[in-house]
Amino acid sequence: MKYTTLGKTGLNVSFLGFGGIPIQRVSRQEAAVTVRHCLDQGICFIDTARAYTDSEEKIGEALKGLPRDGYVLATKTMARSGGDMARDIDISLKSLGVDHIDLYQCHNVRYDTDEAALFAPGGGLDALLDAQKAGKIGHIGLTGHQVDRLIRLMKTGKFATIQVPYNFNELKPEEELLPLALKENMGVIIMKPLGGGALPQDLALRFFLDKPVSVVIPGIEEPAMADQNLRSLMEGGPLSKAEEEEIGRIRQQLGQSYCRRCDYCQPCPQNIDISTVFLAHAYYNRYGMKDWARQRYGSLKVKGDACIECGQCTGRCPYGLPIPEMIKAAAADMG
């Protein structure tokens, strides 16, 4: 396993980390097996969030009885006020079953009101600093999807790490964010390295072999996924010229209007599993697997035609996707 230093935190982390979104979809027992398998393979950086339903609890159960110095634990919260932040830190500690969390992050900071609440006297950042002094958390991090906003917040000097979507189809971080992080010695955590499953796994991970990042955290929901990711990063070499050309073709075909499966759009009032609808539609349109896609779509309890265009999902999507229109298109193709 390749290890790096997570910027100014000084934490030693595995270059391949564990993204905690997908284990929401599996049982507690299955999640525990996967987390333990990852640790056995040297994957020691574990990332989750208060917003990931029962992900913290599942990870906490998997970590029971293990030496606390055997992993680096990161979580995050959408809380912005001081009171809400302090409450969520305590909930995270209890859910994860630990006495301290190595990295606590401000999750998906995207609005001016978020910034105002975090930086207000007695606000979220003050609560984080109080928790740090009390030994509840080790370091304070920042996550988000709006690169320009992240850059502005990085310049405040309040954060030790930055977590950002970055992959071979989303290159904006290369322009200013990554150089700034290097200059400020901030740890760089990469989310959405596979574009939410839209990018070919091997090429997408090997893209990072020569990039100035600390840890890459694809979502992992079963041991086989961890093993496949490890083979790509630990055994695969630099991208060849032919592979670079293939990446160029994928960029041109994919564009930017696709689902990254972050699930921030959920829950849907009509109980539509939005990201699974889009995953099936991607296989239908992009990969020529029409029969499989129709079968996967047909297995859903609630189909896309149940959408009432309420717009709640659109407001939550960090990429501003026209989700109801995309759901209708998927239903028309696969219904």
Q: Which of 53-62, 183-192, 211-220, 249-258 has the weakest average pLDDT?
A: 249-258
Print burial letters for 208-240: b (CB count within 10 Å at least 16), e (below 16).
beeeebbbbbbbbbbbebbebbbebbeeeeebe
Q: What is the pLDDT of residues 201-215, one digit of tens each?
A: 999 999 999 999 999
Q: Parallel, antiparallel, or unpaired for β 161-165 and 187-191?
A: parallel
In this structure, how many other beta carbons lie within 10 angstroms of the beta carbon of residue 153?
21
pLDDT at 198: 81
pLDDT band at 287 (very low <50, low <70, confident <90, very high): low
pLDDT at 312: 94
Average pLDDT along the chain? 94
Section 218-242 average pLDDT: 94
Q: What is the pLDDT of residues 145-187, one digit of tens each?
A: 899 999 999 999 999 999 999 999 999 999 999 999 999 999 9
Q: Are 160 and 187 in contact (CB under 8 A)?
A: yes
Q: Which of 46-60, 74-88, 265-279 has the weakest average pLDDT?
A: 265-279
* Sheet-wide strand order for 18-19: 18-19, 45-47, 72-77, 101-106, 137-143, 161-165, 187-191, 215-216
Is the N-terminal amide bond of 267 cis, ω within 30° of 0? yes
For the chain, which domains are there? 3-246 (3.20.20.100), 274-334 (no CATH)
Section 304-317 average pLDDT: 93
Q: Are 82 and 292 in contact (CB under 8 A)?
A: no
Q: Is the pLDDT of residue 319 over 90?
A: no
pLDDT at 28: 96
Q: What is the pLDDT of residues 288-297, one digit of tens each?
A: 678 888 998 9
pLDDT at 257: 75
In this structure, how many other beta carbons lie within 10 angstroms of the beta carbon of residue 331?
18
pLDDT at 275: 86
Neighbouring residues of 240: CB distance < 8 A, sequence distance ≥ 6: none
pLDDT band at 280 (very low <50, low <70, confident <90, very high): confident
Q: Are 264 and 318 in contact (CB under 8 A)?
A: yes
pLDDT band at 258 (very low <50, low <70, confident <90, very high): confident
CA distances, 97 to each of 44, 92, 117, 160, 241 (Å): 17, 8, 28, 24, 47
pTM of the model: 0.85
pLDDT at 293: 87
Instruction: Return d(Cα 37, Cα 45) in angstroms, integer.
Output: 13
Section 43-47 average pLDDT: 98
Q: What share of the chain is helix, strand, coil (3-state, %, to 5)?
A: 50, 15, 35
Tokens read off for 47: 């990332």
Q: Are 323 and 313 in contact (CB under 8 A)?
A: yes
Instruction: Return d(Cα 145, Cα 317) in angstroms, integer.
Output: 10
Please spell the DSSP secondary structure of 265-285, one letter per residue: TPPPTT---HHHHHHHHHHHH
Stronger pLDDT, 254 or 245, i.e. the higher one: 245
